[in-house]
Protein backbone atom coordinates (compact mmCIF):
# COMPACT_ATOMS: atom_id res chain seq x y z
CA UNK A 1 0.00 0.00 0.00
CA UNK A 2 1.16 3.53 -0.71
CA UNK A 3 1.95 5.99 2.01
CA UNK A 4 -1.17 7.76 3.26
CA UNK A 5 -1.05 11.57 3.27
CA UNK A 6 -3.12 13.58 5.76
CA UNK A 7 -4.44 17.05 5.02
CA UNK A 8 -6.04 19.66 7.27
CA UNK A 9 -8.77 21.73 5.58
CA UNK A 10 -8.03 20.51 2.05
CA UNK A 11 -11.22 21.25 0.11
CA UNK A 12 -13.25 18.27 -1.03
CA UNK A 13 -16.49 18.22 -2.98
CA UNK A 14 -19.83 16.99 -1.68
CA UNK A 15 -19.64 14.18 -4.25
CA UNK A 16 -16.21 13.10 -2.92
CA UNK A 17 -17.56 13.08 0.64
CA UNK A 18 -20.64 11.10 -0.38
CA UNK A 19 -18.55 8.56 -2.32
CA UNK A 20 -16.23 8.07 0.66
CA UNK A 21 -19.17 7.61 3.04
CA UNK A 22 -20.61 4.99 0.69
CA UNK A 23 -17.22 3.24 0.36
CA UNK A 24 -16.77 3.23 4.15
CA UNK A 25 -20.14 1.78 5.10
CA UNK A 26 -21.07 4.77 7.29
CA UNK A 27 -24.74 5.70 7.06
CA UNK A 28 -25.17 9.28 5.89
CA UNK A 29 -27.62 10.98 3.49
CA UNK A 30 -25.26 10.53 0.54
CA UNK A 31 -27.97 10.96 -2.06
CA UNK A 32 -28.51 14.54 -0.87
CA UNK A 33 -25.47 16.43 -2.17
CA UNK A 34 -26.87 19.79 -0.99
CA UNK A 35 -26.85 18.40 2.55
CA UNK A 36 -23.32 17.03 2.04
CA UNK A 37 -22.27 20.53 0.95
CA UNK A 38 -23.70 22.05 4.16
CA UNK A 39 -21.93 19.38 6.22
CA UNK A 40 -18.62 20.43 4.67
CA UNK A 41 -19.27 24.16 4.79
CA UNK A 42 -20.08 24.23 8.48
CA UNK A 43 -17.38 21.87 9.73
CA UNK A 44 -14.79 23.53 11.98
CA UNK A 45 -12.28 20.70 11.48
CA UNK A 46 -11.86 18.66 8.31
CA UNK A 47 -9.00 16.18 8.20
CA UNK A 48 -8.68 14.01 5.11
CA UNK A 49 -6.57 10.96 4.29
CA UNK A 50 -5.29 10.41 0.76
CA UNK A 51 -3.80 7.46 -1.06
CA UNK A 52 -2.09 9.37 -3.86
CA UNK A 53 -5.01 11.40 -5.32
CA UNK A 54 -7.77 9.17 -3.90
CA UNK A 55 -9.72 10.24 -0.80
CA UNK A 56 -9.69 7.25 1.57
CA UNK A 57 -10.59 8.78 4.93
CA UNK A 58 -12.19 11.77 6.58
CA UNK A 59 -12.73 13.16 10.06
CA UNK A 60 -15.22 16.02 10.29
CA UNK A 61 -15.84 17.87 13.55
CA UNK A 62 -17.64 20.82 15.13
CA UNK A 63 -15.87 22.69 17.92
CA UNK A 64 -15.29 25.90 19.87
CA UNK A 65 -11.54 25.09 20.04
CA UNK A 66 -11.65 25.70 23.77
CA UNK A 67 -13.88 23.30 25.68
CA UNK A 68 -15.52 20.69 23.49
CA UNK A 69 -15.42 19.14 20.05
CA UNK A 70 -17.98 16.83 18.49
CA UNK A 71 -16.49 14.32 16.05
CA UNK A 72 -19.45 14.09 13.71
CA UNK A 73 -17.88 11.84 11.07
CA UNK A 74 -15.03 9.37 11.03
CA UNK A 75 -15.02 7.35 7.83
CA UNK A 76 -12.39 5.19 6.14
CA UNK A 77 -12.86 3.39 2.83
CA UNK A 78 -13.43 -0.32 3.58
CA UNK A 79 -10.41 -1.20 1.43
CA UNK A 80 -8.23 0.82 3.83
CA UNK A 81 -9.83 -0.08 7.16
CA UNK A 82 -7.75 -1.84 9.83
CA UNK A 83 -4.58 -0.03 8.71
CA UNK A 84 -4.48 2.72 11.36
CA UNK A 85 -6.01 5.49 9.26
CA UNK A 86 -8.94 6.07 11.64
CA UNK A 87 -6.64 6.42 14.64
CA UNK A 88 -4.38 8.77 12.71
CA UNK A 89 -7.36 10.92 11.65
CA UNK A 90 -8.37 11.16 15.33
CA UNK A 91 -4.80 12.12 16.26
CA UNK A 92 -4.89 14.94 13.70
CA UNK A 93 -8.25 16.16 15.03
CA UNK A 94 -6.87 16.20 18.57
CA UNK A 95 -3.84 18.17 17.41
CA UNK A 96 -6.11 20.69 15.68
CA UNK A 97 -8.39 21.25 18.70
CA UNK A 98 -5.74 21.31 21.44
CA UNK A 99 -5.33 19.49 24.73
CA UNK A 100 -7.85 21.58 26.68
CA UNK A 101 -10.69 20.54 24.37
CA UNK A 102 -12.60 17.29 25.00
CA UNK A 103 -13.46 15.13 22.01
CA UNK A 104 -16.82 13.38 22.03
CA UNK A 105 -18.94 11.45 19.56
CA UNK A 106 -21.96 9.25 19.02
CA UNK A 107 -21.03 5.82 17.70
CA UNK A 108 -23.02 3.60 15.40
CA UNK A 109 -23.79 0.27 17.10
CA UNK A 110 -21.39 -1.59 14.81
CA UNK A 111 -18.54 0.79 15.77
CA UNK A 112 -18.91 0.53 19.56
CA UNK A 113 -15.93 -1.82 19.91
CA UNK A 114 -13.64 0.38 17.81
CA UNK A 115 -13.56 3.58 19.85
CA UNK A 116 -12.05 2.18 23.07
CA UNK A 117 -9.15 0.90 20.93
CA UNK A 118 -8.30 4.47 19.87
CA UNK A 119 -8.50 6.08 23.30
CA UNK A 120 -12.18 6.90 23.85
CA UNK A 121 -14.00 5.96 27.04
CA UNK A 122 -17.73 5.37 27.28
CA UNK A 123 -19.82 7.95 29.15
CA UNK A 124 -23.27 7.43 30.54
CA UNK A 125 -24.29 11.02 31.10
CA UNK A 126 -25.45 11.99 27.62
CA UNK A 127 -28.78 12.95 26.11
CA UNK A 128 -30.02 13.35 22.57
CA UNK A 129 -32.84 14.93 20.59
CA UNK A 130 -32.76 12.95 17.34
CA UNK A 131 -33.03 14.46 13.87
CA UNK A 132 -36.37 14.19 12.17
CA UNK A 133 -34.80 13.33 8.78
Residue 14 has pLDDT above 80, yes or no: yes
Confidence band (pLDDT; 50, 70, 90) for 2?
A: low
Domains of the chain from N-terminus onward: 4-118 (3.40.630.30)
Give the DSSP letter of residue 117: G
Q: Helices then strands (H, E): number in the chain? A: 3, 5
Supply the mean pLDDT for the chain: 94
Using alpha carbons, list the distances in angstroms from residue 85 to 58, 82, 109, 131: 9, 8, 20, 29
Residue 109: what pLDDT? 83
Give the model confidence (pLDDT) of 80-108 as tens digits: 999 999 999 999 999 999 999 999 999 88
Residue 28: what pLDDT? 95
Three-state SS string over 10-68 comes to CCCCHHHHHHHHHHHCCCCCCCCHHHHHHHHHCCCEEEEEEECCEEEEEEEEEECCCCE
Residue 129 has pLDDT above 90, yes or no: no
CA atoms of 37 and 105, how far apart (whole Å): 21
Residue 131: what pLDDT? 84
Torsion of CA 29, 27, 43, 79, to 10 degrees: -120
Amino acid sequence: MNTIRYENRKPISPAQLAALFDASGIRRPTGDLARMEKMLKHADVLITAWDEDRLVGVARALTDFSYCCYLSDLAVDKRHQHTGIGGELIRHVRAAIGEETMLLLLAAPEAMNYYPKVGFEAVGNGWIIKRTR
